[in-house]
Each structure stands twice: as C-alpha cells, then as structure tokens.
Amino acid sequence: MENDSTKTEVFSWIKSLLAVVVLVIVCRQFLFTPVTVNGGSMSPTFQDNDRVMVLKMSEIEHFDMIVFEAPTSSDKHIKRVIGMAGDTLKVMNDRLYINDALVEEPYLEENKASSPFALTEDFEVVVPEDCLFVMGDNRLSSGDSRLYGFVPKDNVFGEVKIRFYPLSGIGLPE
C-alpha cells in the first residue's frame, strides 16, 4: 500500500514538472523571451549587458523599443521605432518631424546635454509599406535605419516591455 502511494506521489510530481516545462516552452516560443542588450546604441535607456523581456504579441507603435533581426545580418538589435509605414520623417537641426509635426524626443535629452554636436544629421525619408524606421537613442553611436535602411515588419521579434537586469534598473523602459 505504501509503495502504491509513493508511486502515485512521484507520478503526480512528474506530471506537474512536465506541465511546467511545456508551459515555459510555449510561453517562450509564442509570448515572451529574454534578450541581452549588446552595445551602447540605446544608451542611456539601456546599457551593454542589460537584460530585457520582449513581448512577442504586441502591436508596435511609434517610439516603442523593439527587438528585430537586422537587415544586414542575423544579429538581434534593439532600437526605437521612429517611423511606421506611410510616415514621412524629417530631421532638421536635430529636431524630428513626423508627417510635418514636430515631435519631442525626451529620451535624447541626456545625450544632447553631453554632446557639443548635433545627435542626428538632417535627412528626409518616407517609410514604405510593411516596414519600420528605427534609430538608437545614442544617435552618435548607433547602427540603425540611417545606416542599413528600413526594417521589414516580418523581422520584428517583439516589443521590449521590461528590464529585469541589473536589479538596480528593474522596471519599465521609457
């Protein structure tokens, strides 16, 4: 009798562990995944080796931070969405205009304060269908759409939702 209850208990634990493993695999495959930031192109928002959680099922909007496969390599990049399909983007005198409306970029203030140079050179582009235009927050040191062009929406893994490492920086990114 005691042997049967032990077997039942062990079997119950095995079923529970398998259920947890399957749940983790499904969540990671379809809902969210952790990503490590490489480089300083998103500084000061993210630093090299920060760890973030990416939500795969998210509606991407202007200024969201996304993880995507770069058009020039299979590397995962983290950048901020500046333009969406159909947008006309213009930067003049370090100021961003989306569809002729001036847009404030508060996430650039720290970098602007510490640089004697303009962060973003002047340009004008129209974002094609099914594409995004992305830039890093550290504009002077960011390989982004200004360098490699538009990012196809199909290359997007998801939206950065939370930083979970380092512990001192846990929280929602701005």
Q: Which residues are catalytic?
A: 41, 79
In contact, 158 and 33? CB cutoff 8 Å: yes
